[in-house]
Amino acid sequence: MTHQQLIRDFENDMLPADSFHHADHVRLAFAYLCEYPPLEALDKFATALKRFATARGKPQLYNETITHAYFFLIRERMARFPSREWDEFAAQNSDLLVWKDGILGRYYREGTLQSELARTVFVFPDR
């Protein structure tokens, strides 16, 4: 699936909710970053994630801090490993695909990430 197809399918709510997990979020962020300048990509990505969660009756699942932190980690890795191919990027950055006990634990305390503040606005790392 091309980056454009993935974005279009996600934005048109054509992906089943039960098959959209953490690695799929990373893949989607990667697709947005391949197609748009970073800040525009972040805006489109965050808007689409909020819409996706809301459409499933779970708007509380969106977390601004987690979304932004992962997004910019992905962006940094793309700059370090400049491939526009998802499979290559994923192989070089498998640590980004781990959700439970993932990379954000290096930068954030669990309580910070689970806070209402972190859910609604980007909170800087506290480790």
- The pLDDT tens digits for 80-120 are 988 889 999 999 999 999 998 999 999 999 999 999 999 99
Is 126 within the bounds of a domain? no
| Residue 125 included in any domain | no
* Entry field: residues in the chain: 127
pLDDT at position 17: 64
- Please indicate, yes or no, if residue 127 is contained in any of the structural domains: no
What is the rounded distance in angstroms from the CA atom of residue 121 to the CA atom of residue 109? Answer: 16
Q: Is the predicted pLDDT of residue 59 greater than 70, yes or no?
A: yes
Whether the full predicted model's pTM is greater than 0.85, yes or no, is yes
- State yes or no: pLDDT of 36 exceeds 90: yes
Contacts of 61 (CB under 8 A, 6+ apart): 53
User: For position 20, what pLDDT does the model report?
Assistant: 87
Range of the domain at 114: 3-120
DSSP 46-90: HHHHHHHHHHTT-GGG--HHHHHHHHHHHHHHHHHS----HHHHH
Tell me the residue type at 67: T
Kindly state the tokens that stand for 25.
């979020």
Structurally, the chain folds into a number of domains equal to 1
Q: Decide if 78 is inside a domain.
A: yes
- Asked whether residue 41 carries a pLDDT value surpassing 70, the answer given is yes
